[in-house]
Amino acid sequence: MTRIYGSYLTDLPPCKEHLQIRFLPNALVHGHKWQHNGSSANFVAEYFATFFPYDSKVVINGDQIDIRDEVRGAVSYIANELLENAVKFNNAEPDQAIALKLMLYSDRIVFIATNYVDCVCARQFEAFINEITNTDPDQLYIDKLEQSAMSEEMGESGLGILTIINDYQAKIGWQFTSLLVTESQDHQEKEPNIAKSHVEQQPGAIAVTVMVDLPLPHHF
């Protein structure tokens, strides 16, 4: 079963260039996860900045903007936010990797981040998505700022996602895909007369894919 929210594109056209990183979150040393996220975000930001020439400028609202610096900063922030959320809310099996893919087009960069959560986390996340999609993002950002000022639970306030929408004019979409698992081999051995075609499948983890469509600076 698949559920889609927001501006999620299921059929992307071929891109000019792409980069993908994958890692197993359980392999990260505890206490170094956030450092790993920051380093990975900076790496992809530097990589994509190289596709824009030095001293390439564009005037936006009367201000002269360096395109390379603008792209580097935007990619670093968005990639770091997606990786932090993917690691923080991940509930994967040991072999289920977190993945982040970036795709470069002539007018935009598309981010695709995937991680795995349980049903409870998925419901909470979907409730937050419904709040985003049915509320003015500027007003919601102000409300979340006020809430975070009164609470130390900044990580669950959604400020990062709202910053991506408000500050970078990016479009965001989400896809939730429920995975099924078959009964264990032990159970099949205990019940050898059960036909394989009738083996019951149980709900497993839910794959959450977040897509961010970032316009390039001259389209801001």
* Domain spans, the chain: 2-219
Average pLDDT over residues 169-192: 73
Of 76, 138, 140, 146, nearest to 111 (Cα)?
76
- Give me 197's structure tokens: 């075609």
SS3 content of the chain, % helix, strand, coil (to 5): 45, 30, 25
pLDDT of residue 186: 46
Please tell me which residue, 93 or 79, carries the higher pLDDT value: 79
Q: Assess whether pLDDT exceeds 60 at residue 146.
A: yes
- Range among 50-64, 113-127, 201-215 rated most confident: 113-127
CB atoms inside a 10 Å sphere around CB 119: 13
Q: Which residues contact 141 (CB under 8 A, 6 or more apart)?
A: 159, 162, 163, 166
For the chain, the first-to-last Cα distance in angstroms comes to 35
155/131: higher pLDDT:
131
Residue 92: predicted pLDDT: 66
Q: H or E segment at 19?
A: strand 17-23
Torsion over CA of 140, 144, 146 and 149, rounded to 10 degrees? -170
Secondary structure (3-state) at 211: strand
Give domain 2-219's CATH number out of 3.40.50.1000, 2.30.110.10, 3.40.50.1440, 3.30.565.10: 3.30.565.10
Which ranges constitute the DSSP H helices of 1-107?
Answer: 33-49, 67-88
CA dihedral in degrees (7, 13, 16, 17; nearest 10)?
Answer: 60
Query: pLDDT value at position 163?
Result: 94
Rounded mean pLDDT of 9-38? 81
Q: Record the pTM.
A: 0.83
